[in-house]
A = this chain, B = another copy of it.
Amino acid sequence: MINIGLLGCGTVGSGVVKILEKNKTDIAKKTGSEIRIRQVLEKDPDKCYKIGLQSDQVTSHFENIINDDAIDIVVELIGGIEPACSFIIEAMKKGKHVVTANKDLIAVKGQELFATAEENNVDFYFEASVAGGIPIIYPLKQSLAANQIQEVIGILNGTTNYILSKMTREGRDYEEVLREAQELGYAESDPGADVEGLDAARKIAILSSIAFNSRVTLDDVYVEGITAITLRDIQYAKELGYVVKLLAIAKEVEGKIQARVHPAFIPLSHPLAFVNDVYNAVFVNGDAVGEIMHYGRGAGEMPTASAVAGDIIEIGRNMHYHSNARIGCTCFKEKGILNISELNAKYYIRMTVKDRPGVLAGIAGVFGNNNVSIAQVLQKTNNQEMAELIMITHTVREKDLQDALTVLKGMSIVFAVNNVIRLEGIDRDNG
């Protein structure tokens, strides 16, 4: 018998209770022991009763979990930094294994949590923290472990992918689609962490740490959200053969790690271009395996519970074979972080400029002086006075581009630099 102490019986917590109950016979066979929910910490006991838990299984005091020696695994699903962090650390110190879905916590306190797990010889598993039900953390540590990973590119936030997919497909505005997503429950009433890219940034911090075997925390990730994306940008993307996605990107470049979240133009031929609505996907490029992609639901009660329960089974097997802690922290290197200004990329630039002879030459001159070479130009006239200028650059350095934009913004012929969006996933070998 393996006893679980569950912290939080909200969306994911109740999913875990349900799946462990529904498939309990098979799960017991796979694990080697029966798995039982022994105690649930929850503020609102009704959430627990509603899904069939008994009153002696529910508590509002963490002490009843931490001091129960029969509890083998603590499953933390309350979310947030505190008290989740202290609860996890206390549990580990008591020799309890820990499963969590808490990306906020791992992206910030990963190092401390892994160190504590290691000191106490316990398992610390967190497959659900990135891309919900999609298996990616474990495969990176295992089936793909022989590879030197070159890049990881994810669509890791369902809310923003839903919004961008809807804008693209239905030609509707950001504000309107966001409101609808909120009504449908696909976006929170305070959507900040999603639309500003923070949620995706936490997840790519976790994935890069595993992929590159070197700690990357939230602060190391450059973040831009989707709030500045307009329908115009999406339409120009389509005109040029791209689609706009909020990407979470991590690459190793000359021994350093580049981790960033921002909207990007990707070619329609890229596997990530087909990932729509609330679906997530993680695209990985490894030196042996080449390009692979894992796709599925990145959130929701049951998909997230699938990953949490998979971790529980795995820990159960480790208990059975006395092999706990067999896969611990994989950050055995220390690679530097590359600043966004050192990025080499192609860019889409949308500007509003005076519509008169010589303007294009003037703008091109500024780019040229800053080593920014232009690959493609579209000019759209808005009215007699103004033109909209769409430019795609060749590969240039971010710093050079920003320098050029600073100059341009000060010129009287430039009314506005409306948007700058990086291009990603081009020049692939998709043999």
Contact = CB atoms under 8 A, between A and B. Distances in A.
A431 B300 CA distance: 12
Contact of A20 (B22, B144, B146, B306): B146
A339 interface: no
Number of identical protomers: 2
Nearest to A325: B321
Nearest to A283: B295
A423 interface: no
B148 A139 contact: no
Contacts of A277: 430-431
A153 B22 CA distance: 24
A309 B271 contact: no
Contacts of A325: 321
A370 interface: no
Interface in A259-306: 271, 274, 277-278, 286-297, 300, 302-303, 305-306
A29 B325 CA distance: 15
A326 interface: yes
Contacts of A11: none
A381 interface: no
A312 B142 CA distance: 10
* Minimum-distance CB pairs A-B, first 4: A323-B323, A292-B296, A146-B309, A135-B143
6 contacts: A145-B314, A146-B312, A288-B309, A291-B297, A292-B295, A322-B323
Interface of A: 15, 19-20, 22-23, 26-27, 29-30, 127, 133-135, 138-139, 141-148, 213, 271, 274, 277-278, 286-297, 300, 302-303, 305-307, 309-314, 317-318, 320-323, 325-327, 330, 332, 430-431
Given A138-B139, A146-B312, 20 more contacts: A22-B287, A23-B147, A26-B148, A27-B145, A29-B213, A30-B145, A133-B289, A134-B289, A135-B144, A135-B294, A138-B142, A139-B139, A147-B306, A277-B431, A289-B303, A289-B306, A291-B296, A292-B294, A321-B321, A322-B323
